[in-house]
Amino acid sequence: MITEFKGKTAVLTGAGSGFGLECARIGARLGMNLVLVDVQQDALDRAQAEMEAADVAVLARKVDVSDAGQMESLAAAVEQRFGAPHFVFNNAGVGSGGLIWENSVRDWEWVLGVNVWGVIHGVRLFTPMMLAAAKADPAYRGHIVNTASMAGLLTPPNMGVYNVSKHAVVSLTETLYQDLRLVTDQVSASVLCPYFVSTGISQSHRNRPAELADEKPTQSQLIGQAMTDKAVTSGKVTAAEVAQKVFDAMTTDRFYIFSHPKALGNARSRFDAICAAENPPDPFVERPEIGIALRAQLRA
């Protein structure tokens, strides 16, 4: 666990908005060195200006986290400037909706590239640095936080590609936690599983690759986008509140980080069905009107 953040280094992907930006703000208040990573240059520039105005050391890099070469260059730059980081937040992510068979190969590649490969690159590149630092210094403490989603514990319909990517992140991070426990007591990991929080991920199409621009959304994708927009904008939990939960989890070495613990009832019913070898439960049992409306729209 990390109990003292002043002078420590944080690497934050998706730092231009949402959880990444809010964690950067907390890190700045605590006197951390900040490595800000985002694919959107204007958002990155604004975040950099804000953090530099807070009088902390900043390294800002425009990076496509799905690109191995770009991530390797980032890791080298971090090590050269600050040495091994103490807090790595593999947070960059994109959303995608629609019936699972309607997503194109390029849709799959984009979402899995950012949401899964971005986390993989962050883990494979920074973990060895952190372990080396721990071996060299008994006082070193490090923590890796990977952003998944409640969609990594559930299987809500009409958003299959996103579900698959976030289930992968949960599995990856649980395994990372167990692997770290085998080799060190100085580096740990957590997984962030937010529910509907206004972060900008519902507008992921703003960073959609140019080669996907000619793909017109299907009816189910348009419906999924509208439902996500409504759910996200009506959420009462803020990105800043979730960011604080991330720092709280690091100071207590808590693995699972939830923005909406009450949503775990849905996860419990899913796991109960698995253990009982029953068919998947109705995802709309608590809000049947949503299921009725979605079926009506998709069958129209």
Residue type, 75: A
Q: Which residue in the list 140, 162, 195, 256 is annotated as catalytic?
A: 162
What is the spatial distance between Cα 264 and Cα 142, in angstroms, rounded to a whole number? 28
What is the spatial distance between Cα 195 and Cα 139, in angstroms, rounded to a whole number? 35
Is 162 noted as a catalytic residue in this protein? yes
| Cβ partners under 8 Å of residue 108, min gap 6 | 161
**Residue carrying the six token digits 């009462």:** 236
Under a CB-based contact definition with an 8 Å cutoff, are residues 109 and 116 in contact?
Answer: no
Query: What token pair was written down for 173?
Result: 């991070």
Catalytic residues: 162
